[in-house]
Chains A and B, each alone.
Chain A
């Protein structure tokens, strides 16, 4: 990357009382990239995003966002960032047009009426512009929120679980839009729980207990995790699954429809276990390249719900 990264922060830390929610977090996001932000509930994704756009003051750490200092220049950052909150945060008792118009005024945009009308047309909401935002379904609310945070042509989009509670069709449309924006040079940082969304990202960072576990181009993540995966097809997979889980070297058995993916990081041990079962001849075994999905299931298994006390960190 020749250009300076859009987000470049080091050592970002946030504490709420005795709890360290984000712990020395580093991230570099190149311009125009779609950066996936993954991790279990309560791992600090929302807190990190809020620190990046100036809603929270970091307790420690430094860096820049769009070239502005994240600690001192929150006001400048806000001018050029579109932030989509996890929960719908527009006025339910205002109409769609009124909401967009309000946001346009917040950013002091010129040609306001024109921009709002354009956004309504893009949304396909021009004929429902007078409808109250509160009466929209989840998918439409999400589209309204995206349109609202794009009104001021931001250089950077921060999306906090934008597709939670949205149907698959709307999700697909949403991601098409994100890729169009990325192609136009808009940088996107998006947090998500969905595997199929994670694979759409150019880069991925995985965080748990406020700390980064892994970070890199999405194609390299499986290699970095270092999993060996066997694909198994055949009858009575439930029984086989039970059996596999007690074998040494088998760290993860994941079911995808009529197929099992059996993975482990200790290759000789895993392969020995597989050979023993393979000798029975009941199932078809194929060694395959571990994908992102296995990698994530593996990462998530290691760090469940982060609202529970962190067993590794003494408080």
Chain B
């Protein structure tokens, strides 16, 4: 029996459109079959575009502000309503005294505390030129900058509208002055703000990704089947796989602290114990997140991509790059669910603001809550068998 040789179409020897087309077609089929990667290519970029596009505001407004009122007259009200109307300040309430104001700043409850001195109006009328003090949390200089710049205009308007008639002073010295006190970062150095935050970002990136990849690697290479055929318990596998990376996190943190102090001269004013609590919790939350990702990803590449997706919110929505208070309410709500948001506050409170354990207790509590939710979902998804 003789079989006819298959006829080959006369096509280019150097570049065959058919072969090229076949490769192209095959690639699209494979792309479509890989649902997770396909979703990540189309869905996630869209989500991120809308999320970050609307959430990020480099000129933050409506920053939480508290006021300590020593005098309550028309001029005081005019100054405060002028500040409110500028859009930069959002008055959330009053504080009783200097100590309470400082605590609010240290815990990050408010970005500004406005102090109207006692007998403010009387001193203005008498021409004593009293000072209105605005204590600003300058650990994030960009949050303070725009608002501080807008202050002189606000004050001038308040003066013009309130001090009328005999009180209107022609052009001599202004009737009172506004002093902005930049707390925690008096020089407004960016590095002082960025460097502590970088620890949060570095830890998120490495911890989540390494854990996710390390676990997915077992199932991708088939070694998971051997492993669970032995009497080993899932908890032993998980702890055994995760702990080495906790150690990596410790090393990273150690290197970071030395560099922050020696190279960037970032102070460490607060309590080591508060720092210790915060960063351990943060490491564990990230490992749990990596574990959760590993239950969704089918191969190491997907694990990498999914991990990377968690990094962007940590950078953009946490208050690391842009002031948290400047984001719209819904974005702040989402940001509250990002572990880095809380760790960032802990580390800034401790390093820059001299915070102690009680000052970071709330943020640590938030981290614990996130940890419970993440590990709950992860354990539900984790299968002890191959089913």
Contact = CB atoms under 8 A, between A and B. Distances in A.
Interface of A: 50, 53-57, 74-75, 78-79, 81, 83, 85, 87-92, 103, 106-108
Given A85-B222, A89-B223, A55 B386 contact: yes
Given A78-B231, A106-B231, A90 B226 contact: yes
B386 A107 contact: no
Contacts of A74: 385
A55 B225 CA distance: 8
Nearest to B224: A89
B387 interface: yes
B230 A78 contact: yes
Most buried by A among B225, B228, B229, B385: B229
A88 B385 contact: no
B232 interface: yes
A87 B222 contact: yes
Nearest to A93: B221
A240 to B, nearest CB: 16
Interface string B221-265: 111011111111000000000000000000000000000000000
Q: Which of A55, A74, A75 has the most CB of B within 10 A?
A: A55
A88 B229 contact: no
A54 B222 contact: no
A79 B223 contact: no
Given A53-B229, A55-B225, 4 more contacts: A54-B385, A81-B229, A90-B226, A91-B223
Contacts of A89: 221-223, 225-226
Contact of A107 (B227, B228, B231): B231
Given A55-B385, A56-B387, A92 B230 contact: no
Contacts of B232: 106
Most central of A75, A87, A106 by chain B CB within 10 Å? A106
A248 B223 CA distance: 52
B296 to A, nearest CB: 19
A58 to B, nearest CB: 10
Given A55-B225, A89-B225, A91-B223, A107 B230 contact: yes
Contact of B225 (A81, A85, A108): A85
Contacts, number: 48
Given A50-B386, A57-B385, A57-B387, A75 B226 contact: no
B226 A55 contact: no
Given A103-B230, A107-B231, A56 B222 contact: no
Contact of A75 (B222, B231, B386, B387): B231
A79 B226 contact: no
B240 to A, nearest CB: 11
A22 to B, nearest CB: 13
A103 to B, nearest CB: 7
A87 B224 CA distance: 11
19 contacts: A50-B386, A53-B229, A55-B229, A56-B386, A74-B385, A75-B231, A78-B229, A78-B231, A87-B222, A87-B225, A88-B222, A89-B222, A89-B223, A91-B221, A91-B223, A103-B230, A106-B230, A107-B230, A108-B231
Contact of B228 (A55, A91, A103): A55
Q: Quick one: which of B221, B222, B225, B231 has the most chain A CB within 10 A? A: B231
Contacts of A50: 386
A108 B232 CA distance: 10
Interface in B60-82: none
Contacts of B386: 50, 55-56
Contact of A79 (B228, B231, B385, B387): B231
Nearest to A83: B229
B385 A92 contact: no
Interface centre among B221, B225, B226, B386 (most CB of A within 10 A): B226
Given A56-B387, A57-B387, A92 B221 contact: yes
Contacts of B230: 78, 103, 106-107
Interface string B351-387: 0000000000000000000000000000000000111
A152 to B, nearest CB: 9
Contacts of A91: 221, 223
A139 B148 CA distance: 75
B229 A56 contact: no
Top 7 A-B pairs, shortest CB-CB distance: A89-B226, A106-B230, A83-B229, A89-B222, A87-B222, A78-B231, A55-B386
Contacts of B387: 56-57
